[in-house]
Amino acid sequence: MPNTKITGLGYYVPENVVTNKEMEGWMDTSDQWIQERTGIKERRYVTRHEEGTSSMGAKAARIAIERAGIDKEDIDFIVFATLSPDYFFPGCGVLMQRELGITKTEIGALDVRTQCTGFVYGLSVADQFIKSGMYKTILLVGAETHSMGLDYTTAGRDVTVIFGDGAGAAILQATEEEGGVLTTKLHSNGTFAEELAMINPGSHGGYHGDVEKYGYNDSAKYGDTFISQKMLDDGMLYPQMHGQLVFKHAVVKFPEVIKESLDEAGLTAEDISLLVPHQANLRISQFVQRRLGLRDDQVWNNIQKYGNTTAASIPIALTEAWEAGKVNPGDLVCLAAFGSGFTWASALIRWM
């Protein structure tokens, strides 16, 4: 059975830096509050109408392709993770394929919709395709454009200050050598689906709960579409988050799923060379670090610069760590994420 090796990494973040200070002018918040509660100092926002999720994904992908030393037509399959796609449909995978000009081979493209865990879920999917022998070279991308869908008034401050835009990419290839992706563990619990969600626009029509609560005030059969007047009037087209609840679950599930991966591989936290956690909140990462007994130099955090970029956060952080010389052959790299769904996941990689 082949193993899965990461042969190229890349990331792209927009040039436009938005500081906490700038946000103080839009809503009732403060640089101090944001830094103390989340660790975030600044984030990046796309230049509207000029770039977006699939184009940022393509920029990160081009770097990963070049570093892997392959031609874009060598790619057998695309996995694209995002919660902020360019279109409701089709997915960003095909849009990025077009942007990259991968046209000769007409390869498949799959969008993954597991939010914060999207990159780890995508890694697991790609790893299974490679191990089964179905594909040899897969492009995996995580990208987000949060800035287009946030509430910039005080009502949305708990969510809005956290999120940023960006993209990260990896080329995964089959190898006969020992190592690479050792294990991936994936979980979800849909009981908490609405605790961190962007419910509208959607096709639900309110049937998961109170019709009125979800923005459908018109029982008139076909009167409401994906977007109702009530949603527009009441500002119901934004993400919503029960922050404390998410936090409480995250600090339990992160260590649990990391331990599950380590147990399966017959390893312990002491064996981890570098943990690259999803950048949800610096306090969550620090909690996980303490729980696992890891030193500062064993954990890569960059939420200070980019905020929470959801599916892009792990590939951006992993690429940065690799560029900084923190990821070397023989190292045990652990990826882990928790977020909307709820979903949570981990991966262990023996770097090659």
Applying CB under 6 A, which residues contact ligand UT7?
Answer: 29, 33-34, 37-38, 116, 157-158, 161, 196, 243-244, 246-247, 250, 280-281, 284, 308, 310, 339
Specify the DSSP class assigned to residue 325: T
CB 8 within 8 A of CB 67: yes
CB of 283 to ligand UT7, least distance (A): 7
- Give the separation between CA 339 and CA 50, rounded to whole angstroms: 29
Question: What three-state secondary structure class fits 3?
Answer: strand
Angle between helices 313-323 and 118-131 (to 10 degrees): 80
Query: Nearest to residue 21, comparing CAs of 47, 39, 44, 42?
Result: 42
3-state class of 19 per DSSP? strand
Whether 334 is catalytic is no
Bridge partners (DSSP) of residue 162 are none
With CB atoms as reference, the residue minimizing the distance to ligand UT7 is 243
**Identity of the residue, 7 or 289, whose beta carbon is nearer to ligand UT7 in the bound complex:** 289
Residue (67 or 249) nearer to ligand UT7, CB: 249
Please, which residue, 161 or 333, has the CB nearer to ligand UT7? 161
Rounded to the nearest whole angstrom, what is the least distance from the CB of residue 115 to ligand UT7 in the complex?
7
Residue 45 beta carbon to ligand UT7: minimum distance, rounded to whole angstroms: 16
Burial class (CB in 10 A: 0-12, 13-18, 19+), 180: buried
Q: Out of 20, 116, 302, 334, which one is annotated catalytic? A: 116
Report in angstroms how near the CB of residue 325 gets to ligand UT7 at its nearest: 28
Spatial separation of the C-alpha atoms in residues 214 and 200, rounded to whole Å: 8
- Which of 200, 301, 302, 308 does the annotation list as catalytic? 308
Of 88 and 152, which CB lies nearer to ligand UT7 in the complex structure? 152
Active site residue 242: no
Percent of the chain as helix, strand, coil, to the nearest 5: 40, 25, 40
At 129, list the tokens. 């395709």
Report whether 135 contacts 129 (CB < 8 A). Answer: yes
Q: How far is the CB of 55 from ligand UT7 (least distance, A)?
A: 23
- 116 an active-site residue? yes
**C-beta of 184 vs 308, nearer to ligand UT7:** 308
Q: Which residues are catalytic?
A: 116, 278, 308
